[in-house]
Structure 1
Amino acid sequence: MPDRAKSFFWYELMTNDLEAAEAFYTRVVGWTAEPFDAPGILPYIVVKVGDRGVGGLMAFPEEIRESGMPPAWMGYIEADDVDATTASVKAAGGAVHREPSDIPDVGRFSVVADPQGAVFMLLHADGPELPPVPMDAPGHIGWRELYTDDWESALEFYSGQFGWTRDAGIDMGEMGTYQLFAVNGEQNGGMMNRPPQVPVAFWQFYFNVPAIDAATRRVTDNGGTVTFGPEQVPGGQWVVTCTDPQGAHFGLVAPAR
């Protein structure tokens, strides 16, 4: 386990229509977008709030497109040593989908999955470390949510690998427990056993918006679909889950309706 707990710090959409995805998310979330040019990288768009990057949008590489993978948001967890952390994930029962490799002018990364199959990426970025972004910062990620087969073993895995700690648990009746987790003492997200309509384990990310109803209208006005909500959650925030026009899942979280 690392000396300091590690969490998600970069988010990436892989999509089959890069131009449409850029138009959708800049309108819905309010991001600005700018191309990122680096040797050997497919067209890549960085989405930003002010001068701070939130994540990236990229079109499927041909080999992934041919595999039939649907459009999806994925998160990068910070790693001091990508090679060692990748090996540790595998030793703990996870899978390695792409061995560690270098991205010129970006850093070293790998693609892995937890023992229940939820995919995420590891990254050691080149350049100075940026300060963490507050959980409620507009346009940034306000919540991280894992749908899994066994949240208790999932929490044990992420705690062992990245130093996460158990926080409060919420009884959701027939749906079971929604277990919150903390990173370096701050609530960072939640995990739950996936319901029957969710076919695989996966991570879902929620973007901060000022007001949930207006943001929900922006989703539907721009061709997206609302799959749940708006709903008020413990603590008073409002959430909605959605898919973009290409089918990628995401959520929105707001302090008010």
Structure 2
Amino acid sequence: MANPAGSFIWYELMSPDPDASKAFYDAVVGWDIEPQPAGDLDYRMIRRSDGGNAGGVLRLDSAMQEHGARPAWLGYLFVDDVDQAVAGAAADGASTIMPPWSVPGIGRMAMIADPTGAPMYLMKPEAPAGQADATSDVFSVDQPQHVRWNELSSSDSDRALDFYSQHFGWRQEGAFDMGPAGPYRFLYHGDVRFGAVMGLMPHVPASRWTYFLGVDDIDRATAALNEGGGTVIAGPHQIPGGEYTVMATDPHGAAFGIVGPRKEGAAA
């Protein structure tokens, strides 16, 4: 895969009811999540209107829930060697939630939690036949129906920054003051500003990543979110550049955000 090591290459929603999640996110974001799984595993691709994929939806079955899994969005980071990356992360205080395993035709992956407790996947995907230089485009800094921002809320943001910088090649540059919540510090991978790290807010009880989904119209998407049974936690708030963000939970409690423009003439 041609994506740089340490970049987000996939996003996955764990949902106890993929049909309900399809109805909700299709309306909010404009996706067309597959109505039926393609194989024995109840896994459905999140299809964008441009023909690409934005990630996948995994059915959260009763066995998973009995072992503590809950509805959530999770990101996948590309690494050159999953086993080596897991070992290095563990030596630096990360926890191994699911040790490395391989899926034929898909790749090798593992789930870890960073030293402050935020979970994520590490993955070395298999390139499609004849496409050794294939790249993932699930993340975009400015396009709707892609994840546009990756925000880490951490119980120890300094420790988190050290960890991700050392193991995934990220750097921190620039910040703004959030008062009692501390600094909101921007993250770069190469020349791309892809997210930020901050301290825990009152509505975030433990370290986690929140992924902001690009929408075409923040007011339309927020209305669809409310009508579909989601809950707005904060926003819409205007951000530098003139767009708006909303933090929310979906009908099953999975945290996410949306980001996009406000159509001209909409009420402030």
TM-score, normalised on structure 1? 0.93
Alignment of 1:148 with 2:154, yes or no, is: yes
Map residues 40-51 of structure 1 onto 2, 5 A cutoff: 42-49=41-48, 50-51=50-51
Pairing of 1:126-145 with structure 2 (within 5 A): 126-127=126-127, 128=131, 129-130=134-135, 132=137, 133-145=139-151
| Equivalent residue letter for 1:51 | G
Please show how residues 106-145 of structure 1 align to structure 2 within 5 Å.
Answer: 106-127=106-127, 128=131, 129-130=134-135, 132=137, 133-145=139-151
Q: Structure 1: any 5+ residue segments left out of the alignment?
A: none
Equivalent pair of 1:5/1:184 in contact (CA under 8 Å): no
Q: Which residue of 2 aligns with 1:240?
A: 246
Q: Residue 260 of structure 2 aligns with which residue?
A: 254
**Structure 1 position 73 matched with structure 2 position 78:** no
Kept in 2: contact 1:42–1:61 (CA 8 A): no
Could you tell me which residue of structure 1 aligns to residue 38 of structure 2?
37
SS in 1 for 2:54: strand
Superposition deviation, residue 124 in structure 1: 1.0
Q: Distance in 2 between matches of 1:74 and 1:83?
A: 19
Tell me if structure 2 keeps the 8 A contact 1:13–1:58: yes
1:21 maps to 21
**Residue correspondence of structure 1 range 50-199 to structure 2 within 5 A:** 50-127=50-127, 128=131, 129-130=134-135, 132=137, 133-199=139-205
Shift of 1:156: 1.0
Code of the residue aligned with 1:173 in structure 2: it is: G
SS in 1 for 2:22: helix
The CA deviation at 1:69 is 3.0
CA distance in structure 1 between the aligned counterparts of 2:192 and 2:21, rounded to whole angstroms = 31
Amino acid at match of 2:241: G
Contact 1:5–1:164 (Cα < 8 Å) also in 2: no
The CA RMSD over aligned residues, in Å, is: 1.7
CA distance in structure 1 between the aligned counterparts of 2:254 and 2:203, rounded to whole angstroms: 16
SS of equivalent to 1:130: coil
Amino acid at match of 2:114: D
The sequence identity of aligned pairs, in percent, is 38
1:12 shift after superposition: 0.4
Partner Cα separation in structure 1 for residue 146 and residue 23 of structure 2:
18
- Contact 1:12–1:57 under 8 Å retained in 2: yes
Deviation, 1:91, is 1.0
Partner of 2:266: none
Report how many residues are paired.
Answer: 253
- Structure 2 residue ranges without an equivalent (≥5): 264-268
Output the amino acid matched with 2:33.
A
C-alpha distance in 2 between matches for 1:90 and 1:187: 27
Q: Partners of 2:67 and 2:27 in 1: how far apart? A: 30
For residues 234 and 138 of structure 1, the distance between their equivalents in structure 2, rounded to whole angstroms, comes to 17
Aligned partner letter, 1:126: E
Q: TM-score, normalised by structure 2?
A: 0.89
Indicate if the aligned counterparts of 1:44 and 1:57 stay in contact, CA closer than 8 A: yes
- Judge which range, 126-135 or 201-210, deviates more: 126-135
Q: Counterparts of 1:232 and 1:75 in 2: how far apart (Å)?
A: 25
